[in-house]
Amino acid sequence: MATLDSTDLSLGKKPAIIVVDITPGFTNPECSLGSNADSVVEANIALLKVFRERNFPIFYTTVVYRDASEARVFREKIPCVSDLAVDSPWVDIDPRLEPQPGEVVVEKLWPSAFFGTALAQQLRAVGADSLVVTGLSTSGCVRATVLDGMQHEYPVIVPREAVGDRDAEAHASNLRDMQLKIASVKPLAEVIDELNGIEV
């Protein structure tokens, strides 16, 4: 089978970062959804430092359920997702990232950061022209957000070290597929260099 002709994407003049579900529910192995994601957290800390220095928009997402009727089919398919209840210890942004004033936390019910949220309008309001998408997990909420970002006409960059998955094979295959069809998957150092090279 022939390989698709796929071009590389670059960041614009005002990229926004979407940090997907880096919450204890996904970074703490004690949660049924969690795994050891320390290296992913460290990569995101490095990215957030650059975004804050350059004053580029920062968004986080978290899955939060307040009612048994929310995202009924999703929760039927993956029952442990219901652990992400509003009164659980799993839904706040991982404290190692320490969201700062003005950084937006988007609550969602489904995998994509865009579906059923105000994220698209919020990105337009801050004038974002491209996206860096990071977080957990590569094969689930990250991929869904990357796909929807592209479908909202944003070039999307995925820093390889800043995403992770409980399933190593799923992680690798989804990175390959996103690079081929949806986004540009790049080394963390290359993304940081690209961010620092943007004139502001």
Per-residue pLDDT tens for 37-54? 999 999 999 999 999 999
pLDDT in tens, 137-180: 999 999 999 999 999 999 999 999 999 999 999 999 999 999 99
From CA 117, how far away is CA 187, in angstroms rounded? 29
Q: Which of 43, 41, 52 is nearest to 196 (CA)?
A: 52
Give pLDDT, residue 130.
98
Cβ pair 47, 189 in contact under 8 A: no
All residues at 6 or more sequence positions from 24 whose CB lies less than 8 Å from its CB, including other chains: 31, 34, 89, 90, 91, 92, 94
Give pLDDT, residue 35.
94
What pLDDT band is residue 1 in, cutting at 50, 70 and 90? low
Q: What percent of the chain has pLDDT over 70?
A: 99
Catalytic residues: 141
From CA 76, how far away is CA 82, in angstroms rounded? 9
3-state helix, strand, coil in the chain (%, to 5): 40, 20, 45
Q: Which amino acid is at 195?
A: L
- Sorted by where each starts, the structural domains of the chain and their CATH numbers stand as 15-194 (3.40.50.850)
Q: What is the mean pLDDT of the chain?
A: 96
pTM greater than the 0.85 cutoff? yes
3-class SS of residue 47: helix
CB atoms within 10 A of CB 5: 6
3-class SS of residue 129: coil
Tokens standing for residue 42: 């460290």
From CA 195, how far away is CA 15, in angstroms rounded? 8
